Structure 1
Amino acid sequence: MTVTTRELDMSRAVLDLVSRPADLDVLELLYDLTAYAAAFLPVRAGITVLDDGGDVAYLTASDELCRRFEQDQLDLDEGPCLDSARTHEPLPVALLDSEQATARWPRFAPRAVAASITAVAAIPLHTPDLMLGALNLISTGPPLPSGRDLHLVQVLADAAALALTHRRDIVGREETIRQLQTALDSRIVIEQAKGVLAARLQVTMDASFTLLRGHARATQQPLTVLATRIAHRDIPDALLEKTR
């Protein structure tokens, strides 16, 4: 049997997610999970989580369309990602222009279709004793994810969950929950930093996030630390030089 390039890349992605150090950055881990999902499938990806009050909130998004997709569900309090996170159940590929989808999500489904979002699927994200939320896969056209695709992405989600389980075993369940809440708070700072970069560099929000993450990795600093600095209008010269 010949091993394909995609299979090799998937193996490396699983290894990367599962082998994070004990002091892993939860937000970085989950951003990487969404990035891998979007890289291996023709989808956009995001993560919704249950916060410490039991409410659903979006944590990561691979791009601005995905972020708006997740935010719309929160604003309307209905949608497939909310259902999956609340019920702890996977969601097979759902066509949002179908009668079933419109009946189930009467306000959200038409809004998503108007934004050119055609289908969504959701994969549970959990540790053995803690339901974290869902990894959401968003399609804007064919091809749609197959059942095999969803199984592959579940492997990625499980790898990330194993890294979090290792972290939980060291710091405890309550500390893991606290770190997820901190990640939710950090997401707000990252959104602010994206806006500052987009305005200063005259680039899209998606491009500003790519620059933000790339610089954080290149300089080996936590994404949140860099985002906080930029949110306060302190933009590193190296980032300014990238668009000159």
Structure 2
Amino acid sequence: MPATEREARIAEAVRDLVHRTADFDPLELLHDLTGHTTSLLPVAGAGVTVLDDLGRVEYATASDERYRRLEEVQVELDEGPCLEATRDGAAMPPASLTGPAAMRWPRFARHARRAGVIAVAAVPLRTPGFTAGALNLMCGQASEIPTANDLRIAQALADATAACFGHQHDLHDQAVLIQQLSTALESRLVIEQAKGVLSERLRVSLDDAFERLRAHARARQRKLTDLAADVAKGSVPTELSQP
């Protein structure tokens, strides 16, 4: 039967997440995962948490600033869907933050509701032998709550991302994967600094600053992290200096 437009976009997203150069930027891959998730699924936002080299769950990236903060809140409070999906290695179906989940994660639920999120879901970021993190789905209205098939798509996107991390190595090599994720966490700090520098200089939002960084890096085939490191040190390319 003929493929639909959405099915074609899902296939293209999987291809994009799996096929990267050997020296790909781990954090950019994780951010692309959130981008594909929000464009293909009826959700308001998405975020990713990963395990660091000490086995702690850490925030990595999110689709925008509002959901970035909610990912950070989960880590700070040590409660929420992404943490449970990472630790349990299992998908978490949609949970309303006005129902039992409000009692399950009372502090996170309060923060999420204030940010306009009414329900959450999560799928693990996993290899055949190891769960390395989770992809968190956030819903702002009833029409955005993912179906069972939506969760299957989210899991496929997360699995493709994990496969990319292991494409140069044995997917069962936990140490290699953790090292790649640690690199992503280190990159996150640099990119946050660069976003702040660019936001202040151009008087634009942090989301806009990040999109400008990404567009500039891609147009010049530079690693996002390398560009961010220059900007964080005050070396802002002329093209990025213009409002």
Contact 2:191 2:228 in 1 (8 A): yes
The runs of 4+ residues in structure 1 deviating greater than 4 Å are none
Q: Secondary structure at the match of 1:97?
A: coil
The question of 1:21 aligning with 2:21 is answered: yes
Q: CA deviation at 1:173?
A: 4.1
Partner residue in 2 for 1:35:
35
CA distance in 2, matches of 1:16, 1:114: 34
Task: Name 2:218's counterpart in structure 1.
Answer: 217
Match of 2:70 in 1: 69
Q: Deviations over 1:78-106 (max 9, x none)?
A: 112111111111110111111x1121112
Aligned partner of 1:83 in structure 2 is: 84
Q: With structure 2 as the length reference, what TM-score do the two structures score?
A: 0.94
Q: Indicate the larger mover: 218-227 or 22-31.
A: 22-31
Alignment correspondent of 1:198? 199
Partner of 1:139: 139
Q: 2 CA distance for matches of 1:93 and 1:138?
A: 9
Residue 59 (structure 1) aligns with: 60
CA contact (8 A) 1:37 1:153 kept: yes
Query: Per-residue displacement from partner, 1:129-171 (whole Å, max 9, x unpaired)?
Result: 221110111111131111111111111111112212212339x
Deviation, 1:8, is: 1.1
Q: Cα deviation per residue 1:165-184 (whole Å; 9 max; x = unaligned)?
A: 212339x5423321211210
Q: Deviations over 1:177-235 (max 9, x none)?
A: 21211210110111111111111111111111111111111111111110111111211
Counterpart CA distance in 2 for 1:180 and 1:71 is: 17
- In structure 1, the partner of 2:7 is 7
Report if the CA contact (8 A) 1:167-1:176 is conserved: no
What's the CA shift string for 1:21-69, capped at 9, x where partnerless? Answer: 3333222211111110011123211110111111110111110111111
* Contact preservation (8 Å) 2:165, 2:180: no
CA contact (8 A) 2:122 2:135 kept: yes
SS of the aligned residue for 2:21 comes to: coil
Counterpart for residue 239 of structure 1: 240
Aligned to 1:112: 112
TM-score normalised by length of structure 1: 0.93
Q: Distance in 2 between matches of 1:129 and 1:168?
A: 13
For the 8 Å contact 1:85–1:134, the answer to whether it is kept is yes
3-state SS in 1 of match to 2:167: helix
2:51–2:178: 8 Å Cα contact kept in structure 1?
A: no
- 1:165 match: 166
Q: Distance between the aligned counterparts of 2:110 and 2:2, measured in 1?
A: 44
Q: Please, what is the CA RMSD of the aligned residues?
A: 1.7
Q: Kindly indicate whether the alpha-carbon contact (under 8 Å) linking 1:24 and 1:167 is maintained by their aligned counterparts in 2.
A: no
Q: Secondary structure at the match of 2:229?
A: helix
- Kindly indicate whether the alpha-carbon contact (under 8 Å) linking 1:127 and 1:164 is maintained by their aligned counterparts in 2: no
Distance 1:22 1:42 in 2: 32
Give the unaligned 5+ runs of structure 1.
none
Percent identity between the aligned chains? 51
Are 1:190 and 1:228, in contact at CA under 8 Å, matched by a contact in 2?
A: yes
Matching residue's letter, 1:221: R
CA distance in 2, matches of 1:13, 1:190: 24
1:229 corresponds to 2:235: no
